[in-house]
């Protein structure tokens, strides 16, 4: 059993993450995953992070790779994290990696280790959310729901709208069948709707897209096809813009079930590229020069040039202008 922690006094991101990593964590929460991954690669390449900073940077980078579906680089970081010591961010990242490879037992074990690790913070590092989802996969719904409620109580007491929205999503996922009856609402998904309302004026595009996809599935069950499609198109555009292939795939499966054609032109072009080639191509489309791309990704200019050459060859292009025309909507 994963123990419940008492509510703790909130500390600022700069106090817990430091001046260099707090902005990257903020980028991730705001949904700018590609920018966060690029900045983490750059910081790690600089070699001047202390031991704690290196551990947190590796943990955040693993999260970014998982969000983008780059399982190989994420697992490589898992090997590094295995020797990073007793650190809350490390345990949490290893739990996420375990979930990604389909090992909920290990995920629950690793999340439980967050309890005694130093620098743990229940809102910046919402370990109960991951634990609840891993416990659902184990079939331990009662324990999962207790953790989801504990996270929700903490978010309501001391968190931001983002924290509350995340907690509501976990509650809805952990206990979807009683959502309407426990809230006294006729709305099928009041927790998801409340979460989206909380994010109306908050920059949290990844969490919003995840909520939109969750809600679209319920709208589809309700027979509200138009609402489902609108939600999925919004999530689809965001997932493509940040190269989030797991989310993109989930959106596509729902669109396919409705007989809707996914926005495939640019997305299918990107699908034939490697992860490294995609990152270079998308940064080039944003208008960055080769040297700027190299600096953001922490690689050499020669590596960027090589990736761009392969991109042009695979997509049948001969210039940056053609690349922009093909991927401008992605």
Buried b (16+ CB within 10 A) or exposed e, 222-234: eeeeeebbebbbb
Q: So what's the pLDDT on residue 330?
A: 57
Per-residue tokens: 65: 């790779």
Q: What are φ and ψ of residue 87, in 5° steps?
A: -135, 135
Per-residue tokens: 22: 């707090």
Rg from Cα positions in the chain:
20
Q: So what's the pLDDT on residue 168?
A: 96
8, 150 Cβ separation under 8 angstroms? no
Q: So what's the pLDDT on residue 144?
A: 92
CATH number corresponding to 264-330: 1.10.10.10
Q: So what's the pLDDT on residue 186?
A: 43
- Distances in Å between the Cα of 199 and the Cα atoms of 84, 165, 205 are 35, 7, 9
Domain locations along the chain:
18-119, 264-330
Q: Which of 208, 301, 315, 305 is nearest to 271 (CA)?
A: 315
CATH number of 18-119, picked from 3.90.230.10, 3.20.20.70, 3.40.50.300, 1.25.40.10: 1.25.40.10
* pLDDT per residue as tens, the chain (330 positions): 444 444 444 455 656 677 889 999 999 999 999 899 999 999 998 888 888 899 999 999 999 999 998 888 999 999 899 998 888 889 999 999 998 988 888 988 888 788 666 555 678 888 888 889 889 988 898 999 999 999 999 999 989 999 999 999 999 999 876 554 444 444 568 999 999 999 999 999 999 999 999 999 999 888 899 999 999 999 988 998 888 989 988 998 898 888 887 765 566 677 778 888 888 888 888 888 899 998 888 889 999 999 999 988 888 777 787 788 777 655
């Amino acid at each position: 059993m994963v123990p419940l922690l008492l509510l703790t006094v909130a500390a600022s991101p700069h106090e817990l993450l430091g001046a260099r990593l707090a902005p990257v964590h903020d980028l991730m929460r705001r949904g700018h995953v590609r920018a966060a991954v690029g900045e983490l690669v750059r910081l790690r390449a600089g070699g001047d992070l202390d031991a704690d900073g290196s551990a947190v940077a590796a943990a955040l980078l693993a999260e970014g790779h998982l969000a983008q579906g780059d399982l190989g680089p994420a697992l490589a970081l898992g090997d590094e994290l295995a020797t990073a010591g007793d650190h809350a961010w490390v345990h949490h990242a290893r739990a996420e990696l375990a979930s990604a490879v389909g090992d909920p037992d290990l995920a629950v074990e690793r999340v439980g280790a967050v309890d005694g690790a130093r620098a743990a913070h229940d809102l910046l590092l919402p370990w109960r959310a991951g634990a609840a989802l891993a416990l659902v996969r184990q079939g331990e719904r009662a324990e999962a729901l207790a953790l989801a409620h504990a996270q929700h109580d903490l978010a309501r007491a001391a968190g931001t709208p983002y924290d509350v929205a995340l907690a509501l999503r976990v509650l809805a996922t952990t206990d979807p069948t009683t959502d309407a009856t426990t809230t006294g609402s006729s709305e099928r998904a009041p927790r998801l709707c409340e979460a989206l309302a909380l994010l109306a004026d908050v920059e949290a595009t990844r969490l919003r897209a995840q909520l939109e996809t969750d809600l679209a599935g319920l709208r589809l069950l309700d027979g509200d096809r138009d609402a489902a499609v609108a939600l999925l198109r919004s999530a689809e555009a965001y997932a493509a813009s940040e190269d989030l292939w797991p989310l993109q795939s989930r959106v596509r499966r729902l669109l396919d079930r409705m007989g809707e054609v996914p926005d495939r032109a640019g997305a299918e072009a990107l699908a034939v590229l490697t992860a490294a080639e995609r990152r270079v191509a998308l940064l080039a489309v944003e208008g960055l020069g080769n040297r700027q791309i190299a600096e953001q990704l922490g690689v050499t200019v020669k590596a960027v040039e090589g990736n761009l050459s392969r991109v042009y060859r695979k997509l049948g292009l001969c210039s940056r202008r053609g690349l922009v025309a093909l991927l401008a909507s992605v």
